[in-house]
Structure 1
């Protein structure tokens, strides 16, 4: 897990104030509607802990043979990628290696696609494969990499026939600022980004003094993980220590629904957390975080076993649930300029020929070209003037453009009428325009 993400110097107070404007509007969720539920999907297999640990042993051996680490630009990283790729190739995946350059060295991402599933609904799971230069990185992040690898191999063993297209990724240079995953996402055409139903991230899931943390991003993904742990009678908490510091941020910044798991890094476990999870209060979740002692001894088997099973549970639950056929779409493709740090502008879609109210899972697809998406506040305005907040401004949201599909509970609204997308740029220096947007019923 990387220490930080570069932030833009902006008028943060103005952004925060602007983010509160219209805060009474009902919130929308980016990404898929709530899951159809476990009964609608196939049950996941148990992921053998011994198999996951065997991968960690290999990663440790690779680091030991290559200067003690698996860092970006070092021989140990490429050897780690070659090991994972060979396993996937033998299991019937279609793999590709993506190259990029960072800090004067060549980096690599590994992408693996399982055949079948709806190509217009991609479910992806990923983990960063690189370590810091000071150690082998077995918890950070051999643990996530090994669990994702073994889940992919379980898909092959089961010859799974998913409803969604399954894709797996291992990212390079995460420790230098999410470089590999940013490169992957930034090189996806907007049409391909729109096909993602979700991205699941696993970074440090075997910490020796573990907590059980769940990302609170997409509600459907979050519920999938919480339901799994509720079935084990293991309490969870919302992940805050590494929020935005791992590869899910690269996907979230372009509007792809994200979720994931985490067992803690350098923060201290509280007495209350030790009471419900065990372990040692007053001690870091991982005392070897970014250190040379992050080796195969730096793993809690119970946490790694549970989280590996949770990875599989999410892939099977979200990947095999019934898909929803597309509905009728109403679109406006006329460009509307968004003034820099100015007043809100609107673009209108007129819905006709429908009866009754709008659905509880109305989809608002947005394509806004902008040089700093964090400046933007976006609302969907119903025909009666009710506003539904799609996106707040954020000083931490530094990516270009907003290409996303938001889910809105509009069941209290009459379907027919003039619906508006309202966009306001609330900070100076960057400009853009509404390229297109649509409502799908």
Structure 2
């Protein structure tokens, strides 16, 4: 994880915070109650061998694998050679940061629907202080072994599989930002899931699941529920690792994390084992982050969880059914003759642009709708007015408007913006929904 990451644990947090959003997001895995796809077991022995190889690379190159250092380029070459031999189509993407050339490695498995991409990524760079075996050799090695398992089993998923190893994460997510910013919006919209794995073998581990896309989150929870292992929500990761640029661009994201330099609580030690009062990783960003700094059990479980998610999220179809609805039913007060307020929905799983017949459901309780200006705000900030102080003294708006949003990328955060432009009458947004035909 990048240098500024000092996350705070959120014991006992629940996915229920997603409330009404969870049901609105189109499923990209097997529906509840359907049989899950069973992936092959990911050999922890093989994952640990990759870590040993990364340790050897660091040892031979000044003790680290940091951006701009020979150890990083040697790490990229090591991973690329294995993927090339396994039948992947690989490419190196270059960028410049801090006066040095950086590298992202992108690997595509042939086949699958190119308009529906399931992508897994990990940052491959370390800090300059050490070899970075947990941070983030662990995630990098686990997705490498998952990719090799795809090849060994000749897995032919419905969707297209892509794997990525990012450079210069420790300097501020530079590599992943470069990839997202240089991928055209239409191509980004084809990525139906981005899975991020940053530190998954911490020596005093926790089992944290990213609190982002509900379907991806539930996929990981289902895996751990099958093992009888409780998880906690990791909500403080936004902006801290390589899923952040994808999330900002409207791509559904999720991931796993085993903890960094904050302290394991007594409650966490009781349910996960390990030592309370100690950091999840006492060697975080230190020279002692070596192959001795790995918990084999956590590494094994998380590697298998990665495969479970990759196999299940890439099977079936993510094309949403007719009438897919994204809805927010939370009340938002509208100040009398005051500032504009918004209600938001996050659209994911839609290929390409929004339709020319996007249905915008507006439910506003108000005693004088002639006071109101109501706009739909697209993810890129474009404004579509749907109500402009019409209706006079009538009360309440409960209307579905049709908006030609065909110039907008569908996935991302859409907002309903409402402003009361006259005094005396009051109200609130009761509901906002988008229906994709």
Output the TM-score relative to the length of structure 2: 0.74
Q: Which residue number in structure 2 is paired with residue 173 of structure 1?
A: 168
- For 2:217 and 2:297, the matched residues in 1 are separated by 21
The answer to whether the Cα contact below 8 Å between 1:31 and 1:257 also exists between their aligned partners in 2 is no
The answer to whether the Cα contact below 8 Å between 2:120 and 2:163 also exists between their aligned partners in 1 is yes
Q: Does the C-alpha gap of structure 1 residues 216 and 240 become closer, same or farther in structure 2, counting only changes over 3 Å?
A: closer
2:97 pairs with 99, 102, 114, which one?
102
- For 1:269 and 1:228, the matched residues in 2 are separated by 23
Q: Deviations over 1:35-68 (max 9, x none)?
A: 3248455311100010000000000000000000
The answer to whether the Cα contact below 8 Å between 1:205 and 1:261 also exists between their aligned partners in 2 is yes
The answer to whether the Cα contact below 8 Å between 2:28 and 2:318 also exists between their aligned partners in 1 is no
Q: Does the C-alpha gap of structure 1 residues 232 and 209 become closer, same or farther in structure 2, counting only changes over 3 Å?
A: same
The answer to whether the Cα contact below 8 Å between 1:131 and 1:175 also exists between their aligned partners in 2 is yes
1:207 aligns with 2:202: yes
Q: Does the C-alpha gap of structure 1 residues 241 and 255 become closer, same or farther in structure 2, counting only changes over 3 Å?
A: closer
Q: Which residue number in structure 1 is paired with residue 30 of structure 2?
A: 36
- For 1:324 and 1:380, the matched residues in 2 are separated by 18
Unaligned runs of 5+ in 2: 6-18, 325-337, 366-376, 383-398, 404-413, 420-433
Q: Which residue number in structure 2 is paired with residue 131 of structure 1?
A: 126
The answer to whether the Cα contact below 8 Å between 1:30 and 1:256 also exists between their aligned partners in 2 is no
Q: Does the C-alpha gap of structure 1 residues 417 and 96 become closer, same or farther in structure 2, counting only changes over 3 Å?
A: same
Q: Which residue number in structure 2 is paired with residue 12 of structure 1?
A: none
Give me the CA root mean square deviation.
3.5
Which of structures 1 and 2 has the bigger CA Rg?
2
SS of residue in 1 equivalent to 2:83: helix
SS of residue in 2 equivalent to 1:69: coil
SS of residue in 2 equivalent to 1:320: coil
Q: Deviations over 1:336-369 (max 9, x none)?
A: xxxxx985799xxxxxxxxxxxxxx9969877xx
The answer to whether the Cα contact below 8 Å between 1:344 and 1:422 also exists between their aligned partners in 2 is no
- How far off is 1:422 after superposition? 5.1
- How far off is 1:239 after superposition? 1.1
The answer to whether the Cα contact below 8 Å between 1:173 and 1:180 also exists between their aligned partners in 2 is yes
Q: Does the C-alpha gap of structure 1 residues 100 and 363 become closer, same or farther in structure 2, counting only changes over 3 Å?
A: closer
1:90 aligns with 2:69: no
- For 1:187 and 1:59, the matched residues in 2 are separated by 29
- How far off is 1:380 after superposition? 7.9
Q: Which residue number in structure 1 is paired with residue 11 of structure 2?
A: none
Number of residue equivalences: 356
Q: Deviations over 1:57-93 (max 9, x none)?
A: 0000000000000000000000000000000000000
Q: Which residue number in structure 1 is paired with residue 361 of structure 2?
A: 382
Q: Which residue number in structure 1 is paired with residue 430 of structure 2?
A: none
The answer to whether the Cα contact below 8 Å between 2:186 and 2:353 also exists between their aligned partners in 1 is no
The answer to whether the Cα contact below 8 Å between 2:186 and 2:352 also exists between their aligned partners in 1 is no
Q: Which residue number in structure 1 is paired with residue 10 of structure 2?
A: none
The answer to whether the Cα contact below 8 Å between 2:318 and 2:349 also exists between their aligned partners in 1 is no
The answer to whether the Cα contact below 8 Å between 2:22 and 2:214 also exists between their aligned partners in 1 is no
Q: Does the C-alpha gap of structure 1 residues 342 and 365 become closer, same or farther in structure 2, counting only changes over 3 Å?
A: farther
Q: Does the C-alpha gap of structure 1 residues 117 and 365 become closer, same or farther in structure 2, counting only changes over 3 Å?
A: closer
Q: Deviations over 1:149-203 (max 9, x none)?
A: 0000000011011011000000000000000000000001010011111100000
1:283 aligns with 2:266: no
SS of residue in 1 equivalent to 2:117: strand
Q: Does the C-alpha gap of structure 1 residues 263 and 384 become closer, same or farther in structure 2, counting only changes over 3 Å?
A: closer
- How far off is 1:250 after superposition? 1.1
Q: Which residue number in structure 1 is paired with residue 4 of structure 2?
A: 4
1:162 aligns with 2:157: yes
- How far off is 1:241 after superposition? 4.8
1:194 pairs with 189, 194, 197, which one?
189
The answer to whether the Cα contact below 8 Å between 1:36 and 1:322 also exists between their aligned partners in 2 is no
Q: Which residue number in structure 1 is paired with residue 302 of structure 2?
A: 307
- How far off is 1:385 after superposition? 5.2
Q: Which residue number in structure 2 is paired with residue 272 of structure 1?
A: 267
Deviates further, 38-47 or 208-217 = 38-47
- For 1:286 and 1:93, the matched residues in 2 are separated by 33
Unaligned runs of 5+ in 1: 6-24, 330-340, 347-360, 368-378, 387-392, 394-399, 404-415, 427-437
2:107 pairs with 76, 93, 112, which one?
112
Q: Which residue number in structure 2 is paired with residue 440 of structure 1?
A: 436
Q: Deviations over 1:219-261 (max 9, x none)?
A: 0000000000000011100114534300010100101000000
Matches within 5 A, 1:418-429: 418-419=401-402, 423-424=416-417
SS of residue in 2 equivalent to 1:297: helix
- For 1:52 and 1:362, the matched residues in 2 are separated by 31
* Larger RCO, structures 1/2 (Cα 8 Å, 6+ apart): 1
